[in-house]
Structure 1
Amino acid sequence: MTDGKKKLRSQDWFGGRDKMGFVHRAWLRNQGYPNDYFGGRPVIGICNTWSELTPCNGHLRDLAENVKRGILEAGGVPMEFPVMSLGETIMKPTTMLFRNLASMDVEESLRANPLDAVVLMAGCDKTTPSLLMGACSVGLPALVVSGGPMLNGKFRGGEIGSGTFNWQVKAKIDSGEFTADDLTEAEVCGARSAGHCNTMGTASTMAVMSEALGMTLPGMASIPAADSRKKLMAQLSGRRIVEMVHEGLTPAKVMTRQAFENAIVVNAAVGGSTNFILHLLAIAGRIGVPLALEDFDRHGSQVPLLVNLKPSGQRLMEDFFYAGGLAVVMKELGGLLHRDVLTINGKTLDDNYRAATCYDTTVIRPLDQPLQPAAGIAVLHGNLCEQGAVIKPSAATPALLKHRGPAVVFSSMEDYHARIDDPDLPITADSVIVLQGVGPRGYPGMPEVGNVDLPRKLVEQGVQDMVRISDGRMSGTAYGTVVLHVAPESAAGGALALVQDGDLIELDVPARRLQLLVDDAELSRRRAAWAPPAPRASRGYVKLYVDHVQQAHLGADLDLLVGSSGSIVERDSH
């Protein structure tokens, strides 16, 4: 290049006046590209998780056009490409099984193609972390364009949130509150626009996480999908990514240890999903930032809850945006955040958010008047979870945060479904529901089943919550006194596999303790008699996953993906 700038990576493909330069340019000519597309302009990948099978991302194909416009305006060359899309509401057995596969798709697509930077088009739960994991592994300049939440659901004069309402459906049917016709009407009212879940579920949490990490333009996370300002931000993101190429601004310069600590604090303040833990740990593992499960308790558990959104509060994401959005939270948190960290717009966090204004304090509370004084995710330890477990106190029943009760054990989801509504099941409101076999390896894939529905006979008696413990996950839209991510999982021989009906279990969230009240000698006897379950997969990616997946306290990434591959491809087959 003649202007003194560093040579672009894409010029390794397009810059040569030899055979290979001819080959790489020639086939792309069938798209009608002019000469200057190959003459040293930054080539920007638009990594799109659009799919008609991913309802939350169904509008990303259109949103990508706004990104392209911005890239062209800034002098770049946009190249959109698809990667595996993960539709949380559709895919079986669970999208978590495929998060790591999607990240591999992203990583290898970036490495293999003539790209100088990438815009990550994300929306539904796992699409955001999988894109970030893959991009971090390569290290090209990158930013996230989040698709945005749906508009508030409107139903019979009130509002319903897509996601949180779903977890109430069985109880409403069992109690006789809802008929089949009622549900049909609610179905079409709850998801009335493009976008992802409009509660502070995992999708919204991931958008917030991206912005808190500094990986989106300020203000993007809160904008509803249907709002024209989302298109504006997408266009500005296209402009900005071209500038980032010239500045050499890569994810490693933005996603520092301090940025990860900021994300933990922000997640607590907004009442974000427990799934955030798994995804942030996995992203940190890819980019090389040391992060441990205990950091989420250390930096987040005492942070006040400021945002009044379901499932921890009453409102929805559209209300959050109108109240001032994430910018207000970032300003309100003040010295709880590292305010001098760099973000992808080239400015510090403090530069971006110091002028934010709150327009509705019933939605976003001041720091000195929070909804809850200490509502971040709590990390538990004890003989039932030697490598940790988590609980979201802001979504739990306060009276159950210290509880002792007898276990009612289900060995699998199939066992649970077969027996939970049996009127003869020996279970009371004081019982502790224990679900085994739903961890990363055991299911496989660690599904969102930890917040299992309560027995019909107890719902009919008016019981609304019980302590539930599993090695699985729960949706970020869900609620209840639910202990999750127990590690080691039961399929790996963790103590959860040894629990039997009637065993007393003590949960003490203030003391951060989860204890199986069975003496060590008896547990040793049970362990000697325990045999690992038969493998759930014999071929393909699922076998690769089962053989290599790490436990929940490490983020459930594949051990062979931790760290980075870099952007250099050393061999050329032509």
Structure 2
Amino acid sequence: MPESKPKLRSTQWFGTADKNGFMYRSWMKNQGIPDHEFDGRPIVGICNTWSELTPCNAHFRKLAEHVKRGIYEAGGFPVEFPVFSSGESNLRPTAMLTRNLASMDVEEAIRGNPVDAVVLLAGCDKTTPALLMGAASCDVPAIVVSGGPMLNGKLDGKDIGSGTAVWQLHESLKAGEIDLHHFLSAEAGMSRSAGTCNTMGTASTMACMAEALGTTLPHNAAIPAVDARRYVLAHMSGLRIVQMAKDGLTLSKVLTRAAFENAIRTNAAIGGSTNAVIHLKAIAGRIGVPLELEDWTHLGRDTPTIVDLMPSGRYLMEEFYYAGGLPAVLRRLGEAKLLPHPDALTVNGQTLWDNVKDAPSFNDEVIRPLDRPLIADGGIRVLRGNLAPRGAVLKPSAATPALLKHRGRAVVFENLEHYKERIVDETLDVDANSVLVMKNCGPKGYPGMAEVGNMGLPPKLLRQGVKDMVRISDARMSGTAYGTVVLHVAPEAAAGGPLAAVRDGDWIELDCEKGLLHLDVDSDEVDRRMKSLAPSAPQSLGGYQKLYVDHVLQADEGCDLDFLVGMRGAAVPRHSH
């Protein structure tokens, strides 16, 4: 027998002739909605993270209109609603603090309202995982539409990458290589159109992850924000979501273990952000897929990084799209038998391989052949040892190869404020061989685990020509950043991790090949130091921050709130009338 079509959720609100149906339809009709919109057609929510305080997503009103056109064309009824917009560029203390809050907003908005499916409008770093996390917990039909990257930045007639240029120019300013006027002149040219960072930062990475997971239409990740084809994709996504609602193609049928394995391998190939480790773990936790740090080791290792984009390489997202975008990358991985699960289902009803098997590639400099990679062994390195019992991560493609096996003495900063105060001290006992260590910047300690792990180098060393040093912290770093930076040390210092015990002068060993991060201090001495430390009470203002600090999981677990993990479904709430 053919599989029966699922009953639409929205009929529980609008499909009855009783008092409740009367009220639900009547209240909606005050917007000028005619009777026939309530005739049993799919009602599709457009979950919009538009905000003028989130510049990456500030063009989403227009994007939503194109989604609506597609929904109407397919015979659905679109209803747009706002959710919390966790904007990376302006939000303090960090957008990571509110990623989970945004996901709660998304989950409850979907579950409590008469929608049969959702289009997730996301762009800025945390909005993509937040929307996928919230929708996954409801397990409704959902499709992601990303906002797209901004156009290439320009300075002195050359391309500059958003985010990456800030770190580069600021180090040059501190080294005395450029003056303040030149530094500030880059502002307008770096961000010259709507869209997310144009480097392979976290926003572009998570757009690629959404596509590799199968939750978007092909080419979603790379089309520039202001390219007309971005609006065509929005229209086609609106068209597709209506059929997904009719077919009952829910997220749990797409977000399988196979999909996450494809995404991890893809992240290695594109030189993606370390933040993907945390976000994919959190999304997987919501849909009920087991995912561990070790998966990044056995799936990411020996995968060549073939996308030559800043901060690891030379180019920007415009070139990536013109070269063929993510489908071209996935085709090359598939042809080399490096795509773990080419038969994984995607939201257009086709397999991942069906979507990319004929994808053209137009520029072998931007998307390199596998025999001429940017990095022969890319991906994310998972490090363990007595300094990180539950793991830490490092991105080799953005690091200095000579520092990937290193031993040096620690220069310790107790928190971000201590770092800012101490790093500019001309008498600081530090040299190029030192290891910079920063504590109390993890999920509980900051709170929110800010992107401060890529500590700027001491100015006195910058003036000597030092360009990179080993840096270790329980913080994160921007996907647009670079350097030999060890991040996400777990457990964090504020949660009683051994990072809290490190002191100036301690020897630390990093061996990326062996996956080792070792503090050369006797375990008994570490225990004595830990017992002597005063309890690190994370500063909290109460409210959501207290909820976060009390319930946030560590980096190796995805930094979700413990009570949010799991798929609760989209059962229709009880009537309130």
Q: If the length of structure 2 is used for normalisation, what is the TM-score?
A: 0.98
Corresponding letter in the other structure for 2:458: P
Query: How far 1:176 sits from its partner (Å)?
Result: 2.2
* 2:554 match: 551
Distance (Å, rounded) in 2 between the aligned partners of 1:145 and 1:468? 36
User: Which runs of structure 2 are paired with 1:422-441 in the superposition (5 Å)?
Assistant: 422-441=425-444
Deviation (angstroms), 1:538: 5.0
Paired residues of 1:379 and 1:390 also in contact (CA < 8 A): yes
Match of 2:221 in 1: 221
Q: Distance in 1 between matches of 2:132 and 2:279?
A: 9
Of residues 514, 517, 522, the one that matches 1:514 is 517
Rounded Cα–Cα distance in structure 1 between residues aligned with 2:170 and 2:157: 22
| 2:526 alignment counterpart | 523
Between 1:274-283 and 1:521-530, the stretch displaced more is 521-530
Task: Give 1:285's aligned amino acid.
Answer: G
Match of 2:384 among 356, 381, 386: 381
- Please name the residue that 2:505 is paired with: 502
State which of 547, 560, 563 in structure 2 corresponds to 1:560: 563
Moved more, 183-192 or 121-130: 183-192
**CA drift at 1:16:** 1.1
- Give the structure 2 partner of residue 66 of structure 1: 66
Shift of 1:350: 1.1
In structure 2, stretches of 5+ residues that fail to align are none
Q: What is the letter of the counterpart of residue 172 of structure 2?
A: K
Deviation at 1:301, TM superposition (A): 2.3
In structure 2, the residue matched to 1:411 is: 414
2:281 corresponds to: 281
Matched-pair contact (CA < 8 Å) for 2:494–2:536: yes
Q: Deviations over 1:331-363 (max 9, x none)?
A: 000121111111000001111001011111010
Q: Whole-Å Cα distance in 1 between the matches of residues 506 and 132 of structure 2?
A: 42
Partner of 1:345: 348
Residue in structure 1 matched with residue 183 of structure 2 by the alignment: 183
* Cα drift, residue 99 of structure 1: 0.3
Q: Partner amino acid for 1:432?
A: V
Equivalent residues in 2 for 1:110-509 (5 A)?
Answer: 110-334=110-334, 335-337=337-339, 338-509=341-512
**Distance in 1 of aligned mates of 2:502 and 2:183:** 37
Q: d(CA) in 2 for partners of 1:528 and 1:63?
A: 55
Aligned-partner Cα distance in 2 for 1:100–1:390: 22
Q: Secondary structure at the match of 2:411?
A: strand
Which string of whole-angstrom CA distances, capped at 9 and with x for unpartnered residues, describes residues 521-569 of structure 1?
Answer: 2112112212321231152111000000000000000000000221113
Partner of 1:57: 57
**AA of the residue aligned to 2:135:** A
CA contact (8 A) 2:446 2:538 kept: no
Query: Distance between the aligned counterparts of 1:529 and 1:253, measured in 2?
Result: 51
The answer to whether structure 1 residue 23 and structure 2 residue 26 are counterparts is: no
Distance in 1, matches of 2:518 and 2:547, equals 33
Deviation at 1:475, TM superposition (A): 0.2
Distance in 1 between the 2:135 and 2:147 partners?
A: 18
Which deviates more from structure 2 when the two are superposed, residues 530-539 or residues 345-354? Answer: 530-539
Cα deviation digits, residues 269-303 of structure 1 (max 9, x gap): 00000000000000000000010011011101221
The CA distance in 1 between the partners of 2:40 and 2:573, in whole Å, is 21
What is the one-letter code of the residue matched to 1:470?
Answer: S
Contact (CA 8 Å) 1:214, 1:349: kept in 2 or not?
A: yes
Q: Secondary structure at the match of 1:53?
A: coil
Equivalent position amino acid for 1:183 in 2: F
Which amino acid in 1 is paired with 2:456?
Answer: D
Q: CA deviation at 1:5?
A: 4.4
Distance 1:174 1:5, change over 3 A: closer
Separation of aligned partners in 1, 2:556 and 2:90: 27
Counterpart residue identity of residue 133, structure 1:
M
- SS of the residue corresponding to residue 370 of structure 1 reads coil
Equivalent residue of 1:31, what SS?
A: coil
Q: Give the deviation of 1:172 after TM superposition.
A: 1.6
| Structure 1 spans left out of the alignment, 5+ residues | none
Q: 1:187, 1:144 → 2: CA distance?
A: 30
User: How far apart, CA to CA, are the structure 2 residues paired with 1:541 and 1:525?
Assistant: 35
Q: Do 1:112 and 1:569's aligned partners in 2 also have CA atoms closer than 8 Å?
A: yes
Deviation by residue 1:27-55 (Cα, 9 ceiling, x = unmatched) = 11111001011110100000000000000
Structure 1 residue 245: deviation in Å? 0.8
Matched letter for residue 58 of structure 2? G
Cα shift at 1:326: 0.6
Maintained 8 Å contact 2:431/2:461: yes
Write the letter of the residue equivalent to 1:241. Answer: I
Using the alignment, how far apart are the partners of 2:386 and 2:49 within structure 1?
Answer: 41
- Give yes or no for contact 2:112–2:573 (8 Å, CA) kept in 1: no
Instruction: Report the alpha carbon displacement of residue 134 of structure 1 after superposing the two structures with TM.
Output: 0.1
SS at match of 2:385: coil
- In structure 1, the partner of 2:36 is 36
Kindly state the Cα deviation for residue 450 of structure 1 after the two structures are TM-superposed: 0.3
Aligned residue runs from structure 1 range 7-22, under 5 A:
7-22=7-22
Q: Matched residues in 1 for 2:432 and 2:367: separation?
A: 34
Letter of the 1:560 partner, please give it: F
In structure 1, what is the Cα distance between the partners aligned to 2:84 and 2:64? 16
In structure 2, the residue corresponding to 1:222 is in which secondary structure? coil
1:237 and 1:486 map into 2 onto residues whose CA distance is 39
Q: Is the 8 A contact 2:385 2:516 kept in 1?
A: yes
Q: Contact (CA 8 Å) 1:492, 1:532: kept in 2 or not?
A: no
How far the C-alpha of 1:175 sits from its partner, in A, is: 2.0
Distance in 2 (CA, whole Å) between partners of 1:136 and 1:5 is 21
Structure 2 SS opposite 1:69: helix
Indicate if the aligned counterparts of 2:9 and 2:572 stay in contact, CA closer than 8 A: no
Q: Deviations over 1:111-152 (max 9, x none)?
A: 010000000000000000000000000011000000000111
Does the Cα contact within 8 Å between 1:48 and 1:83 map onto a contact in 2? Answer: yes
Amino acid at match of 1:431: S
Percent of aligned pairs with the same amino acid: 63
CA distance in structure 1 between the partners assigned to 2:528 and 2:7 by the alignment: 65
Distance 1:263 1:171 in 2: 33
Deviation at 1:520, TM superposition (A): 1.3
Q: Call closer, same or farther: CA 1:70–1:373 in 2, change over 3 Å.
A: same
- Paired with 1:138 and 1:498, the residues of 2 have a C-alpha distance of 42
One-letter amino acid of the structure 1 residue matched with residue 244 of structure 2 = M
Alignment check: 8 A CA contact 2:451 2:477 kept: yes
Is this contact kept in 1: 2:44–2:76, CA < 8 A?
yes
Alpha-carbon shift at residue 442 of structure 1 (Å): 0.7
RMSD: 1.1
Structure 1: distance between partners of 2:127 and 2:177: 35
CA contact (8 A) 2:305 2:376 kept: yes
Q: Distance in 2 between matches of 1:440 and 1:6?
A: 41
